[in-house]
């Protein structure tokens, strides 16, 4: 069978159609011999044709890279198509016979495919191990830097406290010494005062005695002067007093070393620095995707189902149901036993069954975002932007505060069906990020910038996870679906199939397709791309009755549920066959 000569570039967002002439079906497979994409029908015909039945036809993701056309420098009319194993160079057939006699050759396309596989493997190792591990080590150095600053500030605080303690003790001792000096001074002054009184009394006695003797001298009575006066001529001796010994202050004898001993000192322990632990590649591969036995069984069942499913060439409406208690349906979260939660732009969050019977209703602060999700055990988790928390509703309908998000407003949320991690799109007035929590609410990962330190997000208002662990986020302010791998490395950004793209709700299916609502007014569509960002088709367009799609999800029977603006009716479509 004949193929067109157009080649499929390996860039994201290309419209993948079958390479068979006059066939416009979607491509799911690839012929490695013809290097052409084929649809399921053409693949079957390709494998029945006698000329091509032995060709290797694989899924498009497993395709071989086609050898680029390179002309021989020595023989410009010849293509380089062989590889000389002795000279280790690519050659043309003419070079092989002329210049490489006796050498062994391999098909260059095979060598090229092997090398591409090696490089792709190395790229995967870089993206999933080396770069994330190195970034984790970088984060640890920043964490250690912050910790060192904290430790040094604590040391400074301790030193100041020690100095203040010493100052307080010095002040206390000084105060005691001054008190002793004051008491000594008081005692000495009292002693001097008593001596002063003693000498004052003695001086008064001498003055009185001198006055008496003057009286004798002026008396005309000889009897008194000669006889009586001479009988009392004794003068009391001068009283003795002691001169106190003055206190002496002896200055303390101390040095800087003495003060150092009193205050303590800063030392660096004589310990060999610990080498930062680098996770092994083997352990890293299995850290983020851990499976239980039940999950492995489900994966096997899904894998068996994937073998029989492919993208249908047409979309069929299956049924409709209403979500009572809401004006519009901005987000859907599927639960167990055919129950689901739907929300509108006014914060109404309603649980209903597929017959439209309201089971529960709560009022939230949610608006236009995908702010709720259902875990594997059936619990509803929803964000509260106003209070910056994530709440959980258990099966007994009790609402409990689950996670606090600090200064960040939680916008969108998704509970992983791979490992039960919780992915939250959040933002502040100037920046945004995606944070991963484990099922107990412990923060384990933050995704904010690409490897060029450019901001990945502006307004991550819807978030989901693909079967390969990729995190897919609708960002209305970036007009893109931003896809990063499970390690947080940017893979690609889908910006729509056309000039106008305004992404709302997004979901994935068991084939790894990413489906997104393009809510651009007047040109609304449902776009579907593969897990590598290749545009596959427009599932629904205004011509097919789609109005204002806002949210969507895929159930266990591969039915696509689509909620819209200005109506509380949800339509279920079949799009896989």
| CA–CA separation, 559 and 577 (whole Å) | 11
**DSSP for residue 347:** S
| CA–CA separation, 228 and 234 (whole Å) | 13
- Identify whether 467 is part of a domain: yes
What average pLDDT does the segment 211-233 reach? 72
- Identify whether 146 is part of a domain: yes
**238-252, 271-285, 321-335, 474-488: least confident range:** 271-285
> Would you say residue 203 has pLDDT above 50?
yes
Query: For residue 228, what pLDDT is reported?
Result: 62
| Overall domain count for the chain | 2
- Identify whether 567 is part of a domain: no
Radius of gyration of the chain (CA): 47
Final residue in a domain of this structure, among 218, 235, 263: 263
- Identify whether 489 is part of a domain: yes
- Identify whether 408 is part of a domain: yes
Query: For residue 51, what pLDDT is reported?
Result: 87
| CA–CA separation, 352 and 339 (whole Å) | 6
> Would you say residue 473 has pLDDT above 90?
yes
Query: For residue 62, what pLDDT is reported?
Result: 72
**349 and 235 within one domain:** no
Quote the domain boundaries for residue 151: 121-263
Query: For residue 6, what pLDDT is reported?
Result: 37
> Would you say residue 176 has pLDDT above 70?
yes
Round to the nearest angstrom and report the end-to-end CA distance of the chain. Answer: 25
**340 and 237 within one domain:** no
Final residue in a domain of this structure, among 263, 286, 318: 263
Query: For residue 305, what pLDDT is reported?
Result: 56
Q: How high does pLDDT run on average in the chain?
A: 85
What band does 381 get if pLDDT is binned at 50, 70 and 90? Answer: very high
Query: For residue 521, what pLDDT is reported?
Result: 75
> Would you say residue 53 has pLDDT above 60?
yes
- Identify whether 92 is part of a domain: no
Q: Which two tokens stand for residue 543?
A: 């011509």
Interval 326-347: pLDDT, tens: 989 999 999 877 889 999 999 9
**DSSP for residue 229:** G
> Would you say residue 180 has pLDDT above 80?
yes
What band does 289 get if pLDDT is binned at 50, 70 and 90? Answer: very low
> Would you say residue 164 has pLDDT above 50?
yes
- Identify whether 232 is part of a domain: yes
**257 and 338 within one domain:** no
> Would you say residue 88 has pLDDT above 60?
yes
Q: Which two tokens stand for residue 255?
A: 């040095």
> Would you say residue 299 has pLDDT above 90?
no
What are the b/e assignments for 358-387, b being 16+ CB within 10 Å?
A: eeeebebebbbbbbbbbbbeebbbbbbbee
> Would you say residue 14 has pLDDT above 80?
no
> Would you say residue 10 has pLDDT above 60?
no
- Identify whether 44 is part of a domain: no
For residue 354, the domain's CATH number is 2.120.10.30
% residues pLDDT > 90 (the chain) = 37
């Amino acid at each position: 069978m004949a193929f067109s000569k157009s080649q499929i570039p390996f860039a994201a967002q290309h419209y993948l159609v079958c390479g068979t002439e006059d066939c416009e079906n979607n491509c799911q497979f690839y012929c490695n011999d013809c290097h052409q994409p084929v649809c399921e029908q053409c693949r079957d015909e390709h494998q029945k044709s006698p000329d091509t039945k032995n060709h290797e036809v694989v899924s498009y993701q497993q395709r071989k890279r086609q050898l680029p056309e390179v002309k021989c420098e020595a023989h410009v009319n010849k293509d380089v198509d062989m590889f000389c194993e002795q000279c280790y160079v690519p050659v043309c057939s003419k070079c092989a016979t002329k210049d490489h006699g006796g050498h062994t050759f391999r098909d260059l396309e095979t060598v090229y495919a092997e090398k591409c596989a090696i490089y792709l493997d190395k790229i995967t190792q870089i993206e999933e191990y080396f770069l994330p591990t190195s970034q984790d080590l970088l984060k640890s150095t920043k964490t250690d830097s912050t910790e060192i600053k904290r430790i040094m500030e604590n040391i400074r605080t301790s030193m100041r406290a020690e100095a203040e303690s010493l100052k307080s003790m010095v002040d206390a001792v000084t105060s005691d010494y001054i008190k002793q000096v004051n008491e000594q001074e008081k005692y000495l002054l009292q002693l001097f005062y008593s001596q002063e009184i003693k000498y004052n009394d003695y001086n008064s006695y001498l003055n009185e005695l001198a006055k008496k003797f003057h009286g004798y001298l002026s008396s005309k009575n000889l009897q008194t002067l000669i006889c009586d006066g001479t009988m009392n001529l004794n003068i009391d001796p001068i009283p003795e007093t002691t001169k106190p010994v003055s206190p002496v202050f002896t200055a303390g004898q101390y040095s800087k070393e003495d003060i150092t001993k009193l205050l303590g000192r800063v030392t660096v322990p004589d310990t060999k620095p610990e080498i930062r632990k680098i996770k092994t590649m083997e352990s890293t591969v299995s850290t983020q995707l851990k499976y239980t036995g039940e999950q492995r069984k489900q994966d096997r069942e899904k894998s068996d189902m994937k073998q029989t499913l492919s993208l249908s060439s047409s979309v069929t409406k299956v049924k409709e149901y209403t979500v009572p208690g809401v004006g519009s349906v901005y987000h859907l979260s599927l639960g167990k036993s055919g129950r689901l939660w739907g929300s509108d732009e006014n914060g109404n969050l309603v649980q209903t069954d597929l017959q439209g019977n309201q089971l529960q209703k709560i009022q939230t602060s949610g608006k236009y975002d995908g702010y709720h999700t259902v875990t594997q055990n059936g619990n509803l988790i929803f964000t509260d932007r106003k209070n910056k928390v994530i709440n959980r509703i258990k099966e007994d309908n009790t609402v409990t505060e689950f996670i606090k998000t600090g200064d960040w407003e939680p916008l969108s949320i998704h509970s992983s069906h791979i490992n039960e991690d919780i992915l939250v799109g959040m933002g502040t007035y100037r920046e945004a990020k995606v944070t991963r929590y484990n099922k107990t609410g412990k923060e384990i990962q933050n995704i904010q910038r690409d490897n060029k330190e450019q901001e990945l997000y502006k307004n991550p208002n819807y978030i989901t996870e693909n079967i390969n662990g990729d995190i897919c986020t609708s960002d209305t302010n970036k007009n893109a679906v931003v896809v990063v791998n499970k390690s947080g490395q940017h893979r690609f950004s889908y910006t729509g199939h056309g000039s106008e793209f305004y992404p709302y709700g997004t979901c994935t299916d068991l084939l790894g397709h990413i489906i997104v609502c393009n809510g651009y007014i007047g040109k609304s569509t449902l776009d579907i791309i593969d897990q590598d960002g290749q545009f596959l088709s427009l599932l629904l367009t205004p011509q097919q009755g789609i109005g204002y799609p806002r949210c969507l999800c895929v159930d266990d029977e591969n039915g696509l549920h689509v909620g819209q603006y200005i109506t509380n009716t949800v339509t279920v479509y079949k799009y896989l066959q």
